[in-house]
Amino acid sequence: MGRDKGGVIATSNVFRRLISIILSKMKKSLLLIFGLIGGLNIIHSQENSIWGTLLTGGKYENGGIFKLDSLGKNSEQIFEFYESQGSTPDAALLELPNGEFIGTTSLTIDRQGEGLIFKYNREEQIITKLFDFKNTGYIEKAPRGRQVLGSNGKVYGISGGASSSSNMYEFDLDSNLYSSVVYFGWSAPQEILNSKNGNLFFTVQSNDPWTFRRDALFEFDPTNDSLVERVFFNGVNGEKPIGKLLEKDSLLYGVTAEGGSNNKGILFSYNKNTQIAEVILEFDTVNLKNPQGSLSSMSDSVIFGSTSVQDTGNYGGVFSININSREVKVLLAFDSLLTGFGKNDNVLEYEVGKLAILNEMGSTNNEGKLLLFDVVNNQITHSWNLDSSRYGTRPVSMTFSPKDTSIYFACNKGGRRDNGTIVRLDLNHFNLSRSVDFRAKENGSYVTSRLALGSNGKLYGSARRGGNFQGG
């Protein structure tokens, strides 16, 4: 619906050298994060380096892009966002086949605009603004969440959200043309799944009684711009779908927070080949109602997930379901002291039958808790209380690294300067340690987006704020 080729901003070589000197003096270096899977917003680039974004930090406190080598010892802040170039890059970088990165910011000049789409050329170390979300209409609201690359070479993403007009957009990298695929009104599209069949799948949670009134699962074919509603959640078969879909062969699995005969939510499957949806589980028991977040699975037949806080004395819990036998188990009931509780995608099966559970609230200091759970023996094997000074607080996600047999997660707050941390759990020795302290102007703050691993062994990422311009 618009076109804006934008400007080209070169990164200062002097600044990069200064940042390198500062970071080389950090007592704790970033550890290896290679071959990662899961939700720490880590992506792997073709050059085996890791890239990422930070919500804040830098000179202008608008966030920035950073990279790390495979040992995490040569960290560089690659780019600091100045407000006219964008601010608050709070979504994942997307790597293109040519090695360039595409990203978004959620704010622009004076943090008043609706954000932009940018391209980063790491060979030339140049950022190019591709498109401004000008907020001139309901289809140009601020981008949010992860973008994906369609099989047609175009970029797709979600803009807006439940508190504003939202839509799924398409961006043509050849012409810099932005267009709306579908308008959802005041509804909440969930994260897009780039399926193995080349199509895009996502669910929508309707919050708009006027424009878009349907909770549904959609399939989009990028080759012919075909958008089809595959499942309508009418209450009986679920209501308020939430989280990212889980793909296992020809089947997609997901949950709804409400609906079903008990109105406590359901777990459903959708067959991409037959186009048939099925209710696998209706939630109804004390610790097994109103699922939250996304599902996790390493095995062929068992899926794990969590349920949300209900009321006083009921903090939700962790469940498993065998999708072949339909056997359901409540593995762990959360409490405020022993296990903690929270609202994140907080369950990760890092090895068959082994779970990591990350809760953002509760424990003795009410700053969250990390648990390891053995499914076979049905017991918690290890636990750690999070705290702002030692590890960090407000954990946002987890990922497992088979390369060094470790689990990593990011904290939005805590650390030496309360700007957030990255924490590593060494599964060989069950040692939890703070790998990174973010220090605002020095190296950014508030990690909430994917890091990217390049084939050169370096890590790349971005910060929402910080740096010399306080733009990240």
DSSP string, 359-423: ESB-TTTTS-EEEEEETTTTEEEEEEE--TTTT-EEEEEEEEETTTTEEEEEEEE-STTSS-EEE
Indicate the pTM of the whole model: 0.78
Contact 7, 133 (CB under 8 A): no
Q: Which residues of 2-19 are buried (b: 16+ CB within 10 A; e: fewer)?
A: eebebeebebeeebeeeb
Residue 458 phi, psi (nearest 5): -105, 150
| 3-state SS class at 53 | strand
For the chain, the residue count is 472
Q: Cβ(45)–Cβ(99) under 8 Å?
A: yes
Q: C-alpha distances in angstroms, 48 versus 38, 96, 105, 454?
A: 17, 14, 25, 3
Nearest to 129 by CA among 120, 121, 118: 118
User: Max alpha carbon distance in the chain (Å)?
Assistant: 64
What residues contact 357, with CB distance under 8 A and at least 6 apart? 306, 318, 332, 339, 346, 347, 348, 370, 371, 372, 373
Distance of CA 99 to CAs 45, 152, 452, 454, Å? 7, 17, 11, 9
Say how many C-beta atoms besides its own lie within 10 A of residue 310's C-beta: 15
Distances (CA, A) of 154 to 48, 177, 310, 370: 24, 10, 42, 39
For 218, counting Cβ atoms within 10 Å of its Cβ (0-12 exposed, 13-18 middle, 19+ buried), the class is buried
Structure tokens at 457: 């062994």
User: Reading across the β-sheet that carries 302-307, which strands appear in turn?
Assistant: 291-296, 302-307, 317-322, 328-333
237 membership: H or E segment, kind and range: none
User: In which element (H, E) is residue 35 found?
Assistant: none
Closest CA to 9 of 65, 68, 92, 76: 65
The pLDDT value recorded for residue 59 is 64
370 near 357, Cβ under 8 Å? yes
Listed residue (113, 90, 93) closest to 102, CA to CA = 93
Distance CA 173, CA 3 (A): 11
Per-10-residue mean pLDDT of the chain, 472 residues long, equals 34 39 36 35 58 65 66 58 62 83 73 74 82 66 82 90 72 92 79 94 78 81 94 93 92 94 94 96 80 88 86 80 93 89 82 94 87 96 91 81 80 76 89 77 48 44 46 43
HEC string of 63-112? CEEEEECCCCCCCEEEEECCHHHCECCCCCCEECCCCCEEEEECECHHHC
Cα angle value 295/168/35 (rounded, 5°): 45
β-strand partners of 230: none
Q: What pLDDT does residue 17 have?
A: 42
- Output the six-digit token pair for 255: 């949950």
pLDDT of residue 37: 36
